[in-house]
Structure 1
Amino acid sequence: MKKLIAYITCAYPDKNFTIDLINSLKENGVNGIELGIPFSDPVADGPIIQEADKRALENGFKMDDLFEVGEKTGNKIDTYWMGYFNNFYHKGYDFMVKKAKEANIKGFIIPDLPFEEAQYYESKFPLISFVAPTDSKERIKKILKNPKEFIYLVAYAGITGAAKQEDLKEIIEYIKNITSTPLFIGFGVNEKTAKEKAKGVDGVIVGSAFIKILLDDSLKNSEKIKNISKTAKNIKEIINS
């Protein structure tokens, strides 16, 4: 069965909402959580996730919120902390590793940490490997020499949430031939695109489709949780139909 990892912005509108949302997503078939750490310059993310980060920071997000959410949900569902390297560097990487281990976090997703630099840090804690359509076969082979947890295949060159399409059949087949590590595809996955994007991979990573609901100020918090969970359940059914 293909799996679904849900990206959500930590502590927006508040940490208790995030905890409730994670619990609901788990109940609706989500297999893992990519818990986004709000950052002022999220270069790999599109305008939807950027706006959620902006609002979370304006609401007073603190790293202690991340740690508390992790402590209360990390032992219930596979969780990965997603953030830009500045988040980890500012608090101290070893300290972040310590807090992650205490919360049973499975790994870090750091999109602006180049593969070459990541070698030093992944010896301390699992880092999720990114592969892009623009990577050569030689580079992919190098990146996937020792992959952790799962491989994050970026569906296209660009930012999250864009409506782009690229033919990934060849790169998916190549990856599958050199590693048995689960392969997940992210960027631009939603209810309309999930079926096609899930072909040949082990699962999908969905972010902007959920965060768009999160940002809808016409909805009550309970309605946001209900709608995001319903969307997640639909996507899980779509990729396995």
Structure 2
Amino acid sequence: MKKLIAYITTGYPDKNFTVDLIYSLKENGVDGIELGLPFSDPVADGPIIQEVNKRALEKGYKIQDTFYVTEQIAKNLDTYWMGYFNNFYHKGYDFMTQKAEEYGVKGFIIPDLPYEEAVIYEDKFPLISFVAPTDSKERIKQILKNPKEFIYMVAYAGITGAEKQEDLSEIIKTIKEITDTPLYIGFGVNEKTAREKSQGVDGVIVGSAFVKVLLEDISNSEKIKKISSIAKIIKEEINI
């Protein structure tokens, strides 16, 4: 069965809501959580996730909120910390790896840390490898020398949340020839695109389709219900 990984920004509207939402997502087919560490300049993310990052910071998000949420969920659901390198550098990379190990985090997802710099840190803690459609076959081979947990394939060049379409069949074939590490596709995956985008891969990563609901003027319970419903649809779509 293909996997569904959900990106959720930590701490918006508050940390307890994040925990409740994640457990509801688990009940509706989500296999893992990409727990977003709010940052003031999330360059790989589109306007929806940027706005929720901004609101979380305005409401006083602290790294301890991520620790709190992780402690509640990681024992029951595969959990990954997604943040920009500044999130990790500011607190101290060794400190962050120590905390991640303590709470049972499976790996870090750091979109602004290129492979050439990531190799310095890959022995400290599992780093999820990114592959993009613009990468050559030789570069893909280099990136995937020692993949951890899963491979994050960016569906197109750009930011999250856009609904672009690119033919990824060749790059998927190339990756599958190099490694049997699970391959998950992210960027632009929602309930309408999930079935098509999941062709040939082992799972999908969904962020903006969930996070946009956090911006709606509805109650917290309605937000959880709506996001969970979207997750259920996507899990069904990718496994048809």
Classify the TM-score, shorter chain. Answer: over 0.9
Structure 2 equivalent of residue 140 of structure 1: 140
Matched, 1:223 2:222: yes
C-alpha deviation, 1:144, in angstroms: 0.4
Structure-1 separation of matches of 2:193 and 2:181: 23
Structure 2 equivalent of residue 238 of structure 1: 237
Correspondence list, 1:100-139, <5 A: 100-139=100-139
Instruction: Note the alpha carbon deviations across 1:171-194, whole angstroms, 9 max, x for none.
Output: 001101110000000000001100
Structure 1 equivalent of residue 36 of structure 2: 36
4+ residue stretches of structure 1 with deviation over 4 A?
none
Q: One-letter code of the match for 1:166?
A: E
Structure 1 equivalent of residue 58 of structure 2: 58
The 3-state SS of whatever aligns with 2:112 is coil
Structure-2 separation of matches of 1:55 and 1:116: 33
C-alpha deviation, 1:122, in angstroms: 1.0
Structure 2 equivalent of residue 180 of structure 1: 180
The 3-state SS of whatever aligns with 1:121 is coil
Structure-2 separation of matches of 1:232 and 1:79: 17
Instruction: Note the alpha carbon deviations across 1:39-59, whole angstroms, 9 max, x for none.
Output: 000000000000000000000
Structure-1 separation of matches of 2:85 and 2:46: 18
Structure-2 separation of matches of 1:158 and 1:87: 21
Structure 1 stretches of 5 or more lacking a match?
Answer: none
Structure-2 separation of matches of 1:60 and 1:68: 14
Aligned residue pairs, count = 240
Q: One-letter code of the match for 1:231?
A: I
The 3-state SS of whatever aligns with 2:119 is helix
Structure-2 separation of matches of 1:98 and 1:222: 34
C-alpha deviation, 1:120, in angstroms: 1.3
Q: One-letter code of the match for 1:237?
A: E
C-alpha deviation, 1:163, in angstroms: 1.1
Matched, 1:87 2:48: no
Structure-1 separation of matches of 2:19 and 2:101: 18
Structure 1 equivalent of residue 78 of structure 2: 78
Structure 2 stretches of 5 or more lacking a match?
Answer: none
